[in-house]
Amino acid sequence: MESSQAGRNVGVIGLGAMGAGIAQSLRRSGYAVHVYDIRPQACAAFAAQGGVACASLAQMAQACDVVVSVVVNAAQTEDVLFGAGGLAAGLRPGSVFVMCSTVDPNWSAALEGRLRERGILYLDAPISGGAAKAAAGEMTMMTAGSPQAYAACGGVLEAMAGKVYRLGDRAGTGSKVKIINQLLAGVHIAAAAEAMALGLREGVDPQALYEVITHSAGNSWMFENRMPHVLAGDYTPLSAVDIFVKDLGLVLDTARHGKFPLPLASTAHQMFMQASSAGHGREDDSAVIKIFPGITLPEAE
């Protein structure tokens, strides 16, 4: 560990599945990690492990020159920055705001300019890999921003992630790559659910089906990762159905501007919309399998 890291203050906003793991990884790397979440109990739990709980965003802005935001969407990011008591008013010039949410690439590109007017550096830095990889410091970051923004981050990005891809010197490219990743992720989850649903309908033992597929050419990372949730009857949301309603919506919005057809993404989006409309929006995204009729799903023991 570099001695310059040992006392360096880094802020993390949002202690959900990914944000909590990021905060843990940064603390293990020797950073003084300040956290903020709308759930005070989440901050208190992290502080009990050696972190610093911030009672407000203004407190974080005073303490930290690097702030990592891991909230759900652009609207929450807007509130974090520009809402009452938001970060933008309190961050020192030369500070860097690292935005890890999945958002409209055009919005992200515009945010860089808005923050520049206040003297704040910005890194467009969506993430992927899931909660376990975030906690282990092994997730993937798809980043874009100015050389000055990268320099201001120091070793923070490398402490957070196993792979840090630098995709351009202007914000927006990271978000473009992320939504393409989400296109694949959403389609793969929908296809995995469709395949398992067909197996159930045809009377195939679901455990045997899972074993065969995960050792055959039809396997995907999403099939292997998500179908155990179905087999266990456990739809605790590690990534919720409504996340893919949002993310595939961003994919389609981006393509629509260029009149680019995305037939598979469109179908997957409708499947997640149907699951959400049926009341499964806050369940794990594997709950998209619940839209299929005439099947009996495994139940939790």
Interatomic CA distance for residues 301 and 10, integer angstroms = 42
**Burial bucket for residue 90 (CB in 10 Å: 0-12, 13-18, 19+):** middle
Name the DSSP class of 72: S
For the beta carbon of residue 238, count every other beta carbon within 10 angstroms. 19
Catalytic residue among 176, 178, 246, 290: 178
141-152 b/e (C-beta count within 10 Å ≥ 16 → b): bbbbbbeebbeb
Q: Is residue 290 annotated as part of the catalytic site, yes or no? A: no
Phi, psi (5° rounding) for residue 41? -65, -30
Interatomic CA distance for residues 34 and 31, integer angstroms = 9
Interatomic CA distance for residues 195 and 258, integer angstroms = 32
Where would I find the H helices in the chain?
3-6, 17-28, 40-48, 57-63, 74-82, 105-116, 131-136, 147-153, 156-160, 173-201, 206-213, 221-232, 241-257, 263-275
Q: Measured on CA atoms in the order 106, 107, 110, 115, is the torsion positive or negative?
A: negative
Interatomic CA distance for residues 130 and 200, integer angstroms = 27
Q: State the pairing for strand pair 121-124/139-145.
A: antiparallel
Residue numbers annotated as active site? 178
